[in-house]
Structure 1
Amino acid sequence: MSDAAPSVDHAEPTLRLRGVGRRFGGLLAVRDVDLDVAQGERRAVLGPNGAGKTTLFNLICGDIPPSGGTIELYGEDVTGRPARARVKLGLARTYQQSRHLLGLSVEDSIYLSIVGFEGGRLRPVVLPRRDREMRERAREAAGRVAIDHKLGERVGDLSHGEHRQVAIAMALAAQPRVLMLDEPASGLSRGERVLLTELLLELDPSITLVLIEHDMDIALRVASNVTMMHDGRVIVEGTPDEIRANETVHDLYLGRGHRDE
């Protein structure tokens, strides 16, 4: 397993934002954000609580509309298009709070996510061949995040860290081209964080990864590029080494433990 994030050829961006903002009444939660993310890139979006990171994610994914600016995905302007249209272009995401039906098994949870991503409907009669294909995809996605040994267990009986694994498996089951993870390490134990880091480092290099993460050790190890936000704005962009060496980032966010000696 490689410890380095994959290198990226920065051609036409997979994801492009220009002047994107979002106002909630008198509050500017996101202000005039420009962002380019290339195919296969690992991009971390960092900053303190209230920096606008999750609001930016929600704008990119179509959960809320922007107050201004444009959002392009694979060269298509999706600014006014709903979340389901972005899913069809290959975007999948997780949320800060896991959204599971706790009475379902791990396999059934991932299986139903595939049905949802593909715009299918639950019917009394399911074609056996199609059902087998989706079940196999569910089991494969579980294996990619090392939760396949618990396929038959109820999600409600799993640990918090295992909930995170199931959420990532559900997103991967959509076979995304862009995977967006909102604080995937939140609430994880030390051992679970190590496992998460390994999973992210082993992610298919063709998948573009964008993540919000407060654990700087994970973020700076996994990311090839970092966008730092403060007060709704992008204040710094650079490689993990550049972020570690940046005085503004050091003073505002990282602390002495992350600074190069």
Structure 2
Amino acid sequence: MPTLRLRGVGRRFGGLLAVSDVDLDVAQGERRAVLGPNGAGKTTLFNVICGDMPASSGTIEFYGEDVTVRPARARVKLGLARTYQQSRLFLGLTVEESIYLSIVGVEGGRLRPWPRPRHDRELRERARIAAGRVAIDDKLRARVSDLSHGEHRQVAIAMALAAEPRVLMLDEPASGLSRGERTLLTELLLGLDPSITLILIEHDMDIALSVADNVTMMHEGRVIVEGTPDEIRANQMVHDLYLGRGFRNE
């Protein structure tokens, strides 16, 4: 059974068909890159999968359960976590507080009483562990507003990982990062728990193709080709559309 299965998924905005008839199967523990030029429909597809916007057509299954009409919070409860192109963080809080609140939100829901002292300590320890997994544990007491852009990305991924997801979806995590930060991000992604399924949108091809097991290429809202990183590098249509000469196998 695939971790994630899409059949005929589409998303329409009035007369604009942003995503059209997408079929997708992602296996447990797989690293899947979703690539394509700007406007290909990648982020819209992410939003539909996560429940941030409803599908206009098709079905979405998560571990065999139909979640097509279920809200985003229900999908989070099933083990789906994501980041966004623009980091959505609590700028007035510390790194530890931000990660801690992301755990409380997933575990308790908004009507749940504040955790008991012992449980609170356990959650804070989980927050510190999550920070260590993305190498931001040296900034636990720092206010998020005082961090660099790259550190914001680290905090966002730590918040997603702290929820202990089964599926982690990252939307352009390398956007705006320096060369050194991109190297750190690549190492982080390669070092993820192999039981976590990773689905990644990324314009940095070096990162995407070094991390992914399989690649789904989109153009104008449709899937146009799927394959391994080597197959994608060698594909003439992909080369002409997106990659450029440096990524062809000569």
Unaligned runs of 5+ in 2: none
CA positional deviation for 1:120: 3.7
1:20 matched to 2:9? The reply is yes
1:107 matched to 2:96? The reply is yes
Flag the 1:39–1:216 CA change in 2: closer, same or farther, 3 A. Answer: same
- Match in the other structure for 2:242: 253
- Match in the other structure for 2:205: 216
- Match in the other structure for 2:147: 158
Within-5 A mapping of 1:73-222: 73-121=62-110, 126-222=115-211
Which amino acid in structure 2 is aligned with residue 135 of structure 1?
Answer: R
- Match in the other structure for 1:8: none
CA positional deviation for 1:125: 6.0
CA positional deviation for 1:39: 0.2
CA positional deviation for 1:117: 1.2
Q: CA separation in 2, counterparts of 1:220 and 1:243?
A: 9
Selected match of 1:31 from 20, 44, 51: 20
1:238 matched to 2:209? The reply is no
Q: CA separation in 2, counterparts of 1:94 and 1:118?
A: 18
Which amino acid in structure 1 is aligned with residue 32 of structure 2?
Answer: R
1:42 matched to 2:37? The reply is no
Q: TM-score, normalised by structure 1?
A: 0.94
Q: Once the two structures are aligned, what percentage of the paired residues are identical?
A: 86
Name the SS for the 2:108 alignment partner: coil
CA positional deviation for 1:119: 2.9
Q: CA separation in 2, counterparts of 1:126 and 1:94?
A: 25
Give the number of equivalent residue pairs.
250
Q: CA separation in 1, counterparts of 2:42 and 2:110?
A: 33
CA deviations 1:24-78 (Å, max 9, x no partner) are 0000000000000000000000000100000000000001001100000000000
Which amino acid in structure 2 is aligned with residue 102 of structure 1?
Answer: L
Q: CA separation in 2, counterparts of 1:84 and 1:249?
A: 36
Q: CA separation in 1, counterparts of 2:66 and 2:208?
A: 29
Flag the 1:123–1:76 CA change in 2: closer, same or farther, 3 A. Answer: closer
Name the SS for the 1:118 alignment partner: helix
Q: TM-score, normalised by structure 2?
A: 0.98
CA positional deviation for 1:246: 0.1
Q: CA separation in 2, counterparts of 1:34 and 1:181?
A: 19
RMSD: 1.2
- Match in the other structure for 1:58: 47
Which amino acid in structure 2 is aligned with residue 31 of structure 1?
Answer: S
Name the SS for the 2:23 alignment partner: strand
Unaligned runs of 5+ in 1: 1-11
Q: CA separation in 1, counterparts of 2:79 and 2:119?
A: 21
